[in-house]
């Protein structure tokens, strides 16, 4: 394979990686990093996270560039969004063309990019996901989906999973149990939680010690039924709970969840913000499970880093919701420019066979992480699918005690060496590295990141090497 070629691809190799001077715009070539930090501290408000010390002044392909001259392999695709990498030339051209000629319209107008995206997306999805509209963020799409489910069913109770993340708007946050619920008074009434399907940590076990997700799920629904007033409208789930630590739904779980919903007259909403558009080795994670939800939501990957999300449902649900007066009319609903980007993203994914590439590249990634686990006793679990992976750090494999401080030191070392993998450090889940590189990543770049990650483990005290 030629260096930089996509796995299994007959297309020519990618261009050589650019150096810093090829990437950093002249506007940011001469910046005072300390001055920028002071201004950020003075004028930028806190929104739930502390800023990293480095100021990022460039992004290209798989890499980020800092004002101090550091090049970082971006193993989280920005905020798990840059599916095709930073600064993809065809995406840049699409943005340029539509910014110049067709950027934004009155929300009741329609245009070719929106029509094309709707057609391309719905034709690629299973029957029963026939109608789509487009918004800006994942939280917004989940908000709309929950409202749609309430309008369609005439009911108002919503079920979510522990460890879930669905957004910052009221109903999406109400169905979210990973973080963000405290300090604001009551959330939306009628919100219930099922246990998170955490195969590594669940207390539900069969006699042989294996994970008994069916008993756990049945138990959870018995608790929901006891609490419900008889108004269960929908259950919203992620096929891989990324923010919760890359927790993968067990085989058969999603089908069982749909049966539970159907038995109660509920809709099933699947949130594919991170799993959708090829990242997990299938076009959608629901394809892997062979389950068609009543409503599908997309965001992040669809816009390659631009704010674009989607709500997709059946023609029948769409018809009933229209008759009942469903309304989610926003300033940026069905905006031309982001829709054009989404359409181009799908075109590239299908044209370049990137779903198959993600599956092959994912094997390289997971094989490498398995080798790391065989070398270091602090790795309690490696999980995920395709180009989504979680590496959980523990103080002991026997007790599974989380090792948050150790995980942070490993993450800091990896960043200094040049690879960024987001650390899910909430105490509920322990320190789990979340890895989701762009699906255009090459085997060579995966091995580059694995080498830096291995060195971070090797050079960090307390990682418990299992070799001499």
CA distances from 281 to 13, 426, 438 (A): 21, 28, 12
Question: Has 208 been annotated as catalytic?
Answer: no
**Which of 143, 212, 216, 238 is flagged as catalytic?**
238
Whether 271 sits among the annotated catalytic residues: the reply is: yes
The catalytic residue among 216, 271, 289, 294 is 271
Q: Is 165 a catalytic residue?
A: yes
Burial grade of 42 (CB within 10 A; 0-12, 13-18, 19 or more): exposed
- Which residues fall within 8 angstroms of residue 136, CB to CB, at 6 or more apart? 307, 308, 309, 330, 332, 335, 338
Choose the catalytic residue: 150, 155, 264, 434.
Answer: 434
- Which one of 258, 264, 279, 300 is the catalytic residue? 300
300 is catalytic: yes
Task: Provide the 10 A C-beta neighbour count for residue 284.
Answer: 26
186: CB partners within 8 A, 6+ apart: none
Whether 434 is a known active-site residue: answer yes
324 is catalytic: no
Largest Cα–Cα distance in the chain?
Answer: 70
Catalytic residues: 165, 238, 271, 274, 300, 434
């Amino acid at each position: 394979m030629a260096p930089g070629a996509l796995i299994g691809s007959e297309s020519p190799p990618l261009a050589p990686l650019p150096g810093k001077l090829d990437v950093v715009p002249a506007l940011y070539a001469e910046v005072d990093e300390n001055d920028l930090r002071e201004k950020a501290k003075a004028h930028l408000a806190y929104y739930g996270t502390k800023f990293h010390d480095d100021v990022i002044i460039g992004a290209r392909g798989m890499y980020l560039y800092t004002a101090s001259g550091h090049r970082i392999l971006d193993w989280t695709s920005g905020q798990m969004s840059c599916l095709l990498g930073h600064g993809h030339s065809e995406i840049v051209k699409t943005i340029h063309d539509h910014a110049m000629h067709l950027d934004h319209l009155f929300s009741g107008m329609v245009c070719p990019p929106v029509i094309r995206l709707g057609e391309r997306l719905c034709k690629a999805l299973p029957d029963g996901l026939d109608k789509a509209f487009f918004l800006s963020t994942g939280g917004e799409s989940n908000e709309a989906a929950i409202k749609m489910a309430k309008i369609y069913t005439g009911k108002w109770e919503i079920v979510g999973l522990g460890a879930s993340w669905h957004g910052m708007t009221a109903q999406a946050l109400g169905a979210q149990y990973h973080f963000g619920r405290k300090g604001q008074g009551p959330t939306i009434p009628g919100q219930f939680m099922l246990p998170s399907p955490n195969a590594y940590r669940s207390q539900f076990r069969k006699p042989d010690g294996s994970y008994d997700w069916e008993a756990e799920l049945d138990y959870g629904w018995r608790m929901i039924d006891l609490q419900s007033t008889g108004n269960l409208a929908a259950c919203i789930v992620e096929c891989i709970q990324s923010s919760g630590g890359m927790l993968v739904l067990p085989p058969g779980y999603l089908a069982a969840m749909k049966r539970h919903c159907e038995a109660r007259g509920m809709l099933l909403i699947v949130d594919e913000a991170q799993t959708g558009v090829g990242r997990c080795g299938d076009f959608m994670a629901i394809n892997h499970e062979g389950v068609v939800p009543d409503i599908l939501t997309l965001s992040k990957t669809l816009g390659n880093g631009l704010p674009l999300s989607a709500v997709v449902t059946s023609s029948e649900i769409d018809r009933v919701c229209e008759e009942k007066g469903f309304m989610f009319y926003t300033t940026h609903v069905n905006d031309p420019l982001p829709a054009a980007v989404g359409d181009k993203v799908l075109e590239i994914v299908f044209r370049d066979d990137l779903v198959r590439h993600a599956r092959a590249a994912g094997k390289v990634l997971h094989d490498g992480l398995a080798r790391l686990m065989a070398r270091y006793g602090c790795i309690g679990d490696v999980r995920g699918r395709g180009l989504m992976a979680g590496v959980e750090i523990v103080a002991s494999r026997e007790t599974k005690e989380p090792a948050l401080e150790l995980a942070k030191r490993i993450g800091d070392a990896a960043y200094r060496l040049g690879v960024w993998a987001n650390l899910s450090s909430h105490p509920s889940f322990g320190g789990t590295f979340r890895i989701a590189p762009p699906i255009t990543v090459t085997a060579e770049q995966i091995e580059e990141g694995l080498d830096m990650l291995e060195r971070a483990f090797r050079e960090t005290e307390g990682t418990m090497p299992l070799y001499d």
